[in-house]
């Protein structure tokens, strides 16, 4: 079986050569930041990747006496994750955190998630819930819930989906009835709750969307509540049951080590919750966590694609067929080059987006808008394309890939869910086109386009005339598509937009990733021209990535543009 490997060199290239985060990292020097990533990678190899297969094979179990039980190695790994301070990475010191630039946090998250996505979801959901409490919770709520979550004693979840409602969050029927003491009685059922319950934590802190008496229908009538699994004693310890019960765990295609739960609130007694934020602002506050989760989905795709590529590359170098290693077979090499170009391209997109968080925190309003624009692209594009990378990994492994011996087919099973939860990729595409582009008349999209155009004027682009011409044409055709969308919107022909929004998100993903790889190729060429011979092979590979991506992925935009611009998109008139 291939050995675990992370491409630290490519991560460092993105962080320090492309994004130059060391220039905005305060007390952290470049070597300090590199060491964080290297040390975390060692932790991931020894403690996280080592229980990936066990999590898949053993899975989780719902028991009468203990509730949801996870593989024992998951408990140990999560405990060490907190003890070694990795959960605290990126948080301020005043809450026990270890401050670090956002791209460093995302780079480590990518390593963590790629090594064992099912395990990472427990702490990932906890961070998401804690982030909501930090942002909109009262000081009392922060004091009560944040310390034990930081310490790893308590976990967290978000509870939106209900039976029959699915992605239609506004159809939720869970109720929150106020009590005289300021608490609310929560009653209802939530389904598909990731990390909904486990024996990893002493207590689970659920963020639950519910409807108070007299609230209007739809999302505007929803409020958000903090609902612990166990009641909290006066001394801050966990007490008796709060009547939050896991009544079912889902049997799934993948992420077997992650407990996907049906939770019943108040089925056997009064379940107490506390309002967080203002009444009827539940969906707005929950979206703090939803946006975190959507970027985490993108990382789930990107990270597993990169690890699947690394493992597949090793296999292809060792597996002999027809008297030579299969890496020398043209079709296998084609697949490997495509896998590397796409995986590295997704990594560049994720780290670029994470860097915008720091710019946003520094007061850059356009960076905040760009994060909003790129979030659905990251989520939709990276998860769709990562699944295909996993399929190619299986193909390179042949029959061994289809079998479980090498652990490769697990990537495809584990990645697929990321295209579905936290808003399906179809919903991401609708959000991208309708809310992130058309709503502001394309202002942010055009600003991003200006960045791409500026890169295309760099003197080094003359080395790749065909590729850069293809990128420029994609820019032009993209503008034509937006103009057509604008006409449909003015005529209120929204179905003509929505029918092709998924195609347009893929189009923009191809365009933006090609740009990110072009940026990397320019830097690599400058390094080579400057005499950097020590990294010659790697730097040349960055140029190859850009060329391969343009040939095999950016070229798809020609067909997508023709489909959107030249064919009728009013699917409502077509019969099935």
Q: Which residues are catalytic?
A: 422
Smallest CA-to-CA distance from 241 within 223, 260, 264 is with 264
Query: CA-CA distance, 153 to 561, in Å (whole number)?
Result: 51
β-sheet bridge partners, residue 260? 194
Provide the token pair at 120: 């990472």
Angstrom CA distances, 538 to 7, 53, 523, 524, 549, stand at 11, 31, 12, 9, 16
B/e letters for 472-485, b = 16+ CB within 10 Å, e = fewer, are eebbebbeebbebb
Classify 325 in phi/psi space as left (phi over 0), alpha (psi -120 to 50) or beta. beta
Angstrom CA distances, 480 to 394, 413, 485, 487, stand at 38, 37, 9, 11
The C-alpha R_g of the chain, in whole angstroms, comes to 24
Provide the token pair at 353: 């987006």
Cβ–Cβ under 8 Å, residues 85 and 150: no
Angstrom CA distances, 16 to 38, 225, 551, stand at 14, 41, 27
Residue 180 has a CB neighbour count (10 Å cut-off) of 5
B/e letters for 318-334, b = 16+ CB within 10 Å, e = fewer, are eeeeeeeebbeeeebee
User: Got the DSSP string for 280-348?
Assistant: T-HHHHHHHHHHHHHHHHHHHHHHHHHHHHHHHHHHHHH-EETTEEGGGSHHHHHHHHHHHHHHHHHHH
Query: CA-CA distance, 550 to 546, in Å (whole number)?
Result: 6
């Amino acid at each position: 079986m291939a050995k675990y490997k992370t491409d630290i060199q490519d991560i460092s290239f993105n962080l320090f050569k492309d994004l130059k985060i060391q220039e905005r990292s305060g007390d952290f020097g470049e070597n300090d930041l590199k060491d964080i990533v290297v040390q975390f990678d060692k932790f991931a190899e020894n403690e996280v990747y080592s229980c990936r297969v066990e999590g898949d094979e053993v899975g989780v179990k719902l028991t009468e006496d203990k509730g949801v039980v996870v593989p024992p190695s998951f408990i140990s790994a999560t405990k060490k994750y907190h003890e070694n301070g990795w959960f605290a990475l990126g948080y301020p010191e005043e809450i026990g955190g270890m401050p670090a630039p956002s791209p460093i946090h995302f780079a480590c998250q990518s390593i963590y998630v790629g090594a064992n996505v099912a395990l990472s979801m427990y702490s990932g959901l906890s961070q998401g819930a804690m982030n909501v409490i930090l942002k909109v919770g009262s000081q009392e709520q922060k004091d009560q819930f944040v310390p034990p979550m930081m310490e790893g004693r308590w976990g967290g979840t978000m509870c939106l989906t209900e039976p029959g409602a699915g992605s239609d969050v506004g159809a939720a029927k869970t109720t929150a009835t106020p009590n005289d003491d300021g608490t609310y009685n929560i009653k209802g059922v939530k389904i598909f709750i990731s990390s909904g319950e486990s024996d990893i934590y002493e207590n689970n802190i659920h963020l639950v969307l519910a409807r108070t008496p007299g609230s209007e229908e739809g999302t505007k009538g929803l409020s958000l509540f903090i609902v612990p699994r166990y009641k909290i004693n006066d001394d801050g310890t966990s007490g008796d049951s709060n009547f939050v019960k896991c009544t079912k765990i889902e049997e799934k295609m993948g992420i077997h080590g992650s407990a996907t739960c049906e939770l019943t609130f108040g089925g056997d007694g009064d379940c107490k919750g506390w309002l967080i934020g203002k009444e009827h602002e539940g969906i707005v506050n929950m979206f703090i966590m939803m946006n975190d989760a959507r970027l985490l989905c993108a990382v789930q795709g990107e990270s597993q694609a990169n690890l699947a590529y690394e493992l597949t590359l090793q296999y292809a170098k060792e597996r002999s067929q027809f008297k030579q290693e299969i890496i020398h077979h043209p079709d296998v090499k084609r697949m490997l080059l495509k896998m590397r170009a796409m995986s590295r391209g997704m990594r560049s997109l994720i780290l670029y987006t994470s860097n915008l968080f720091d710019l946003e925190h520094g007061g850059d309003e356009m960076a905040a808008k760009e994060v909003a624009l790129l979030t659905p692209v990251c989520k939709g594009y990276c998860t769709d394309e990562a699944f295909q990378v996993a399929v190619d990994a299986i193909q390179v492994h042949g029959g061994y890939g289809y079998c479980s011996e090498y652990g490769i087919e697990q990537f495809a099973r584990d990645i697929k869910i990321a295209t579905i939860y936290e808003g399906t990729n179809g919903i991401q595409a609708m959000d991208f086109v309708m809310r992130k582009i058309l709503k502001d008349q394309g202002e942010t999209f055009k600003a991003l386009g200006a960045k791409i155009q500026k890169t295309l004027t760099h003197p080094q682009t003359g080395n790749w005339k065909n590729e850069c011409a293809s990128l420029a044409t994609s820019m032009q055709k993209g503008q034509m598509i937006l103009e057509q969308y604008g006409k449909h919107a003015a005529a209120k022909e929204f179905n003509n937009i929505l029918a092709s929004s998924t195609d347009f998100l893929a189009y923009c993903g191809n365009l933006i990733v090609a740009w990110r790889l072009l940026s990397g190729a320019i830097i690599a060429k400058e390094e080579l021209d400057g005499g950097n011979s020590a990294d010659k092979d790697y730097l040349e590979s960055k140029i190859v990535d850009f060329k391969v991506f343009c040939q095999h992925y950016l070229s798809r935009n020609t067909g997508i543009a023709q489909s959107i611009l030249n064919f009728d998109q009013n699917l409502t008139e077509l019969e099935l």
